[in-house]
Amino acid sequence: MTDTDRSTPSVPTVPREVQEAVEAMADDARAASRVLATAHRSHKDTALRRMAEGIDAGRSVILEANARDLARGREKGMAENLLDRLALDDARIDALIGALHELAGQTDPVGQIIDGQTLPNGLRVSRIRVPMGVVGAIYEARPNVTVDIAGLAVKSGNAAMLRGGSAAQETNTALVGILRDALDAAGFPMDAVQSVDEYGRDGATALMLARGRVDVLVPRGGRGLIQSVVANARVPVIETGEGNVHIYLGASAPEQMAVDLVVDSKTDKPSACNSAETLLIQEGAPAAEAVLRGLLEAGVRLHADEAAARLAGGLSEQVLAAQDGDWADESLALEMSVRVVLDMEEALRHIQRHSTGHTELIITNDLAEADEFVSRVDAATVMVNSSTRFTDGGQLGLGAEVGISTQKLHARGPMGMTELTTSKWVVRGQGQTRG
C-alpha cells in the first residue's frame, strides 16, 4: 500500500465566491426556519394553499419552461426514461396541486408528544417532535420533487435548500419563484425555499459542505448521484436508494391477480424507482405463462433465463437471454429480468444477493408463505399482493415524500413530513436536585 492509498479522501473544493454565496443563503434559510418552527398550523396550511394556488395560476409559465427543458434534453440525447421524469403536463401539475392541498389537511407533526413519563422523583419527562431546521436536497430532472420537498418542509416547520440539476433548471426556476412568492403572500420569509441551481455543480458541492448550516441532506436520483453525495458530503445525509425491485410469483398465485399486479408494477411508470425490475417465478406456477404473455403484450422486453424463456415462447427480439448483469440492473424502462426458481427459499437467496432494499413483493394465496416472506425480506417496503407502485409517500397517506430511504437510521421507506422532524427532550420539575 502506498502513502497515497493510506491518505484520507480529499475534501471537494468549490470557488470561494460560490461557497460564500451558498453559506449566506443557508444563513438566510436558518433565519427563515426559526420563523416556521414556531408557526401555528393554520398559518403553515395557509402558505401551502397559497403555493397550490400559485402553481395553478402559473401553469402556463411552468409548462413553457418545462417544454424548453425537454427540448434541450432531447437535443442532448437524454434517455426516454429521464425525459419522462422531467416532463410535466396538466395532469402532473394537478397532482402537485393536490399534494399541497393534502398536506394542508394533514396533522401537524411539530409539537407532537412522542412519549413521556413521570419519574419517581417527580420529574415529568417527555419527548416532542421538532423541525430539523434547514433541509437540503440534491436531485436530477424531477421538477415534482421541487414542490414536494418545499411543501413538506413548510408543513414540518423547516426551510428547504434545493439543487434540482441543469436538466430541469428552467422548470425549477419557475416553480421556486412561484413558491417563494406564495410564502411571501402568506407572511413567511421567502428564503424558506431557495435554489442553488444558478451555481451549477459547484452549488451542489457547496451545499454538501455546509455542515453546521444545513442540518440534513437528501439525495434523489441515480446510483452515481447518490453515492457522490454520500461519499463527499460533510452534512449528515439520509440516503435514498435505487430500486432494484423484485416480484416473487408463488405457485398459489391467482392468475388474473398475478397478471394485473406484475403488469402494473412494471408498466404503470417504468421510470419510477418503485417500478418492478425482476420477476422470480416459482417452478410450476400455473399463472406464469399468462403473466409473461401479459408483459409481452404490454410491450415489455424480457431478459429471461432458459426456463423463463421457454415459458415465454422462446427467445426472440422481445425475449432475450438473461446476462449476469441483468439481475443487478435498474432499467427504469420497459425491460424486465425473469428467472424461474425452485421455491421461495431460492427466491429469497436471489433477493438477498441483488436487492437494493427498496421494495419487494410476493404474489401468493398462501398466508403462511406470505408471512414468511414478510418476515425474512430485508427491505424498506415489503408487499403482499399489491402493486409495487404503491411505495410512494402520496399513495401511502403521507401527502408527498422527500424520497424513499433505504438506510436504517432515522428514516426508512417513504419519507413524509414526520421524517423531517427530530425530537427534543423536555424535563419539567419542581426544584429537584441530583445531589
Report, as an integer, the average pLDDT of 339-353. 97
Which pLDDT band holds residue 223 (cuts at 50, 70, 90)?
confident
Domain locations in the chain as residue ranges = 21-106+130-240, 245-396
Pairing relationship of beta strands 413-414 and 404-405 according to DSSP bridges: antiparallel
Which pLDDT band holds residue 422 (cuts at 50, 70, 90)?
very high
* Tens of pLDDT, residues 168-222: 999 999 999 999 999 999 999 999 999 999 999 999 999 999 999 999 999 987 7
CA torsion through residues 88, 411, 263, 335, sign: positive
Half-sphere exposure of 247 (CA within 13 A, CB side): 32
* Tens of pLDDT, residues 292-305: 999 999 999 999 99
* Tens of pLDDT, residues 395-421: 887 777 788 888 777 788 888 888 899
Backbone dihedral angles phi then psi of residue 20, each to the nearest 5 degrees: -65, -40
pLDDT of residue 360 exceeding 80? yes
pLDDT of residue 8 exceeding 50? no
The three cell numbers locating residue 113 = 408528544
The three cell numbers locating residue 96 = 402537485
Half-sphere exposure of 82 (CA within 13 A, CB side): 19
Distance CA 311, CA 71 (A): 41
pLDDT of residue 224 exceeding 60? yes
Among candidates 167, 169, 198, which has minimal Cα distance to 73?
167
Q: Which of 1-10, 273-282, 425-434 has the highest mean pLDDT?
A: 273-282
CA torsion through residues 361, 335, 328, 344, sign: positive
Q: What burial class does residue 101 get, using C-beta atoms within 10 Å of its C-beta: 0-12 exposed, 13-18 middle, 19+ buried?
A: middle
Same fold, 21-106+130-240 and 245-396: no
245-396 has which CATH code?
3.40.309.10
Among candidates 279, 289, 291, 274, which has minimal Cα distance to 240?
274
Looking at the DSSP bridge assignments, the partners of residue 113 are 128
Maximum alpha-carbon separation in the chain = 81
Which residue in the block uniquely carries the three cell numbers 424520497? 403
Encoded amino acid at 125, one letter? V
Q: Which residues contact 162 (CB under 8 A, 6 or more apart)?
A: 136, 137, 139, 146, 149, 150, 172, 176, 193, 194, 195, 196, 197
pLDDT of residue 279 exceeding 60? yes
DSSP string, 214-271: B-EEEEESSHHHHHHHHHH-SS-B--B----EEEEE-TT--HHHHHHHHHHHHHS-TT
* Tens of pLDDT, residues 24-42: 999 999 999 999 999 999 9
* Tens of pLDDT, residues 134-163: 999 999 889 999 999 999 999 999 999 999
Cβ contact 302:318 at 8 Å: yes
Looking at the DSSP bridge assignments, the partners of residue 363 are 249
> How many of the other CB atoms lie within 10 Å of CB of 15?
12
Among candidates 136, 103, 191, 183, which has minimal Cα distance to 417?
103
For residue 301, the model assigns a pLDDT of 97
Looking at the DSSP bridge assignments, the partners of residue 138 are 163, 219
Query: Yes or no: is domain 21-106+130-240 CATH 2.60.120.920?
Result: no
For residue 225, the model assigns a pLDDT of 86
Task: Summarize the chain as % helix, strand, coil (round to 5).
Answer: 45, 20, 35
Which pLDDT band holds residue 7 (cuts at 50, 70, 90)?
very low
For residue 6, the model assigns a pLDDT of 41
